[in-house]
Structure 1
Amino acid sequence: MDSQIALILGQDGIVNGAIYGLMALALVLVFSVTRVIFIPQGEFVAFSALSVAAMQAGHVPATLWLLLALAAAALAVEGWRWKRGAEVDWTSTLAWCVALPLAACALVLWLRPASLLMQSVAALVLIMPLGPLLYRLAYRPLADATVLTLLIVSVALHGVLVGLGLLFFGAEGSRTPAFSELRTDIGGIPVTGQSLVVVGVTAVLVLLMFLFFERSIVGKALRATAMNRVGARLMGIPTGLSGDLSFALAALIGAVSGLLIAPLTTIYYDTGFLIGLKGFVAAIVGGLGSYPLALVGALIVGQLESFSSFWASAFKEVFVFTLIIPVLWWRSLRSRHVEDEE
């Protein structure tokens, strides 16, 4: 391996690490606010990319019917809770269950977007409401359950969504056009415009998330809920809405990731699972609680995958997932172990 090959592999590692970083940020966000290890995060990636591919083929993406079915089910559940005397926030309910699904219908069925930009916007509107709808149907009734119980629900939900992905899109993979056809050399290394788009969009999203959590009232409310859910509730913060918002942001991040990666690799109905798992490895490096460490972990995972694919491509996944073992061992040595009763 000479220096040029090392630089090319390093560039690939940065691009891959940017996608894994977005996955890791979404996983840390959801876990810190709701204690849910959200395994189906990768399905948002696949559904977003395949929805754009379906629109480019002139078809109505089946994710629209999934969105409408989940919205109807969530609306029925909220109506049932209200009838039984439970307090229901109808503003957020109508936003997630009526307004956004209707906007998705208008974009996909009425406007019929033809440009890649508008198709991407339609995919974001399609995928983002899936997050809070899944939270309301699958996780909110179990808000006080153990982390293990929530993890089992995540595994089951992942199986359901992967099966639906196979039903909706078939076993064939799809690619979408690149957002930039630029091709240039930087220091003798070929760089594509899509790679620059991936890194640039990731940097912008990370900056926006930093400003959101540091400067906005809603972001500070999410941070408070992540630090102390009971204390946040006592201070008047609606922790139920915090779950809605965290899942909505996670779905949006997953949808953006799908749009970014689809021009670089063929996306299949189950591709998102592997991407999500690598994002989970990066999140584990950050202890499922630190956004900066999760980003560092994503870069490590990206570089490890890139260089191991050169030296031993058949075992690159093994190297990546083996990274969890020393990280967990090191964290177990530094953590204070307590009994369940404590």
Structure 2
Amino acid sequence: MDFSIASILALDGLTNGAVYALLALATVLVFAVTRVIFIPQGEFVAFGALTLALLQAGRLPGTVVFLLVLAVLAAISDVVDGVRHHRPGKRIAINVVKTLAWPVVASALAWWAAGKGLPLAVHALLTLALVTPFGSLIYRLAYESLADASVLVLLIVSVGVHFALVGLGLFFFGAEGFRNPSFWDSRFSAGPLTLNGQTLIIFVASVVLIVGLYLYFERTLAGKALRATAVNRAGARLMGISSSAAGRMAFTMAAFIGALSGLLIGPTTTIFYDSGFLIGLKGFVAAVFAGLSSYPLALVGALAVGLLESFSSFWASAFKEVIVFSSILPVLLWRSLTDPHSEEH
């Protein structure tokens, strides 16, 4: 291996690592706020890429039907919860309208836009509008009633949600894989390296989102409320911070990050209905490097995973996945020996 090959592999690793960093940040965010190890994070990636691909093909994506079904189920849950707690009918109606508004408007826009040949950027924004609400809806239907359950129970639920989303992805998108067009086709040469526009977009989008998350948590009241929930859920409740609202916000942000990652990675590889699992799992490996608690360490871990995957594909391409996922074992062992922990009751 000479310097030029090493440079190309490093660039490829950093590009993939930038996407894994977004998924790792989403995983850390969800776990910090809700204690949920969110295995299906990668499904948002697949949903985002496939939704954009179907819109580009002039077809109405199955995401629309799925979103409306989840929204109706959540609205029914609002009604049942309101009746059970004897809330006024007006308040129940307002909650139902809030639940249905975004999914219905986004679905109507998708139905109108399908087949009209709109620009790629418009379809990308519409994809984000369709996939982002999945986070809040999935949290409400699968996790909210179990918010105080143990981490193990929440993990089991996550595995079930993962298998459900993969099966529904096959039903709504089919078994065919798609590769999206690039957002920027320009190429730039820098010595032995050739940078394309999509790579630059991935780097810029990742940096902007990471900085945006930092400012959100450090400078805004809502971000500080999420941090408070992450530090002490009971204390946050006593201070008037709703743990349910915090969970919904965390899952909504995770869905947005996943959908954005799907848009970024879609032009670089063919995405199938089940591709999100491996992609999300690599983000999870990066999050484990950070102990599921540190955003800067999650970024470092993601870049390390990307570089390890890239160089492994050169030296032992048949075993690159094994090498990447095996790297989690010494990290878990080290954390088990050095971090104080106790049994959860």
Q: Which residue in the other structure is 2:155 paired with?
A: 151
**1:310 aligned to which of 285, 310, 314:** 314
Relative to the length of structure 1, the TM-score reads 0.97
Q: Give the alignment of 1:275-290 within 5 angstroms.
A: 275-290=279-294
Query: CA separation in 1, counterparts of 2:94 and 2:252?
Result: 16
Q: Would you say 1:22 and 2:34 are equivalent positions?
A: no
Q: Would you say 1:8 and 2:12 are equivalent positions?
A: no
Query: CA separation in 1, counterparts of 2:280 and 2:149?
Result: 23
Q: Is contact 2:103-2:130 (8 Å) kept?
A: yes
**1:142 aligned to which of 127, 142, 146:** 146
Q: Which residue in the other structure is 1:71 paired with?
A: 71
Q: Give the alignment of 1:36-47 within 5 angstroms.
A: 36-47=36-47
Q: Is contact 1:50-1:267 (8 Å) kept?
A: yes
Q: Which residue in the other structure is 1:107 paired with?
A: 109
Deviations 1:204-243 (A, max 9, x none): 0001000000000000000000000000000111111000
Q: Is contact 2:78-2:95 (8 Å) kept?
A: no
Q: Which residue in the other structure is 2:338 paired with?
A: 334
Residues 237 and 93 of structure 1: CA distance in aligned 2, closer, same or farther (over 3 Å): farther
Counterpart amino acid of 1:119? H
Residues 285 and 91 of structure 1: CA distance in aligned 2, closer, same or farther (over 3 Å): farther
Residues 340 and 72 of structure 1: CA distance in aligned 2, closer, same or farther (over 3 Å): closer
Counterpart amino acid of 1:81? D
Residues 254 and 56 of structure 1: CA distance in aligned 2, closer, same or farther (over 3 Å): same
Query: CA separation in 2, counterparts of 1:145 and 1:103?
Result: 34
Residues 316 and 89 of structure 1: CA distance in aligned 2, closer, same or farther (over 3 Å): farther
Query: CA separation in 2, counterparts of 1:46 and 1:303?
Result: 22
Residues 208 and 118 of structure 1: CA distance in aligned 2, closer, same or farther (over 3 Å): same
The answer to which of 26-35 and 98-107 deviates more is 98-107
Residues 59 and 340 of structure 1: CA distance in aligned 2, closer, same or farther (over 3 Å): closer
Query: CA separation in 1, counterparts of 2:106 and 2:221?
Result: 28
| Structure 2 residues not aligned, in runs of 5+ | none
Query: CA separation in 2, counterparts of 1:191 and 1:38?
Result: 33
Q: Give the alignment of 1:201-240 within 5 angstroms.
A: 201-240=205-244
Counterpart amino acid of 2:107? C
Counterpart amino acid of 1:6? A
Counterpart amino acid of 1:137? L
- The Cα of 1:186 is off from its aligned counterpart by 1.2
Q: Which residue in the other structure is 1:324 paired with?
A: 328
User: How many corresponding residue pairs?
Assistant: 340
- The Cα of 1:106 is off from its aligned counterpart by 2.8
Deviations 1:5-36 (A, max 9, x none): 00000000000000100000000000000011
RMSD: 1.4
Residues 47 and 339 of structure 1: CA distance in aligned 2, closer, same or farther (over 3 Å): closer
Query: CA separation in 1, counterparts of 2:67 and 2:236?
Result: 31
- The Cα of 1:325 is off from its aligned counterpart by 0.7
| Structure 1 residues not aligned, in runs of 5+ | none
- The Cα of 1:89 is off from its aligned counterpart by 8.3
